[in-house]
């Protein structure tokens, strides 16, 4: 198994978990699922380096970095594409209810309802959330790829049978 295949399977598992939770009636706010993505991303980056060194123990630090970055990009891309699709087709009321609460707060502060609704809707929607998720996961995952690349290269390589 390669790091790309394991990342693809982890992403599919995360997507399935999100859909299962929705259909089970468990309400998870959009930003409350981010820790799950971060944990899976750490596991995916670790597995990419581990599987690369299992395949060829002579791989260098640059190749470990590349494998980690490929993993991070794939996971961030798949999850952001899924998130956009999920909030556009499956959970269509999540952002509207969240935005309604925000608009009420702005109206209580004295802002006009139409202006508050326009600004809140343009900021909190499926597209912006998917973009934020992609760049956030890619940024955090890139640091993970660097850290795990060094960890695999300097520390964990010593514990591998030669």
- Does position 21 have pLDDT exceeding 80, yes or no? yes
d(CA 11, CA 18): 11
Q: Is the pLDDT of residue 30 over 80?
A: no
Give the global pTM.
Answer: 0.88
- pLDDT class of 162 with cuts at 50, 70, 90: low
Closest CA to 143 of 51, 41, 75, 58: 41
Cα(64)–Cα(141) distance, rounded to whole angstroms? 14
| pLDDT beyond 70 at 1 | no
* 14 has pLDDT over 90: yes
Sole residue written with tokens 């981010």: 34
């Amino acid at each position: 198994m390669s790091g790309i295949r394991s990342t693809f399977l982890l992403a599919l598992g995360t997507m399935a978990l999100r859909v299962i939770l929705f259909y089970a009636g468990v309400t998870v706010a959009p930003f409350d699922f981010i820790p799950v993505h971060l944990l899976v991303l750490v596991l995916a980056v670790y597995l990419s380096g581990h599987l690369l060194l299992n395949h060829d123990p002579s791989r260098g630090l640059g190749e470990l970095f590349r494998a980690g970055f490929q993993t991070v990009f794939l996971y961030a891309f798949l999850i952001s594409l899924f998130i956009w699709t999920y909030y556009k087709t499956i959970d269509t009321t999540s952002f509207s209810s969240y935005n309604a609460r925000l608009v009420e707060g702005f109206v209580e502060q004295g802002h006009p309802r139409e202006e508050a609704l326009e600004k809140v809707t343009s900021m909190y929607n499926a597209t912006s959330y998917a973009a934020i998720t992609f760049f956030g996961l890619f940024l955090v995952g890139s640091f993970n790829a660097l850290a795990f690349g060094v960890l695999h290269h300097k520390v964990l390589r010593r514990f591998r049978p030669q």
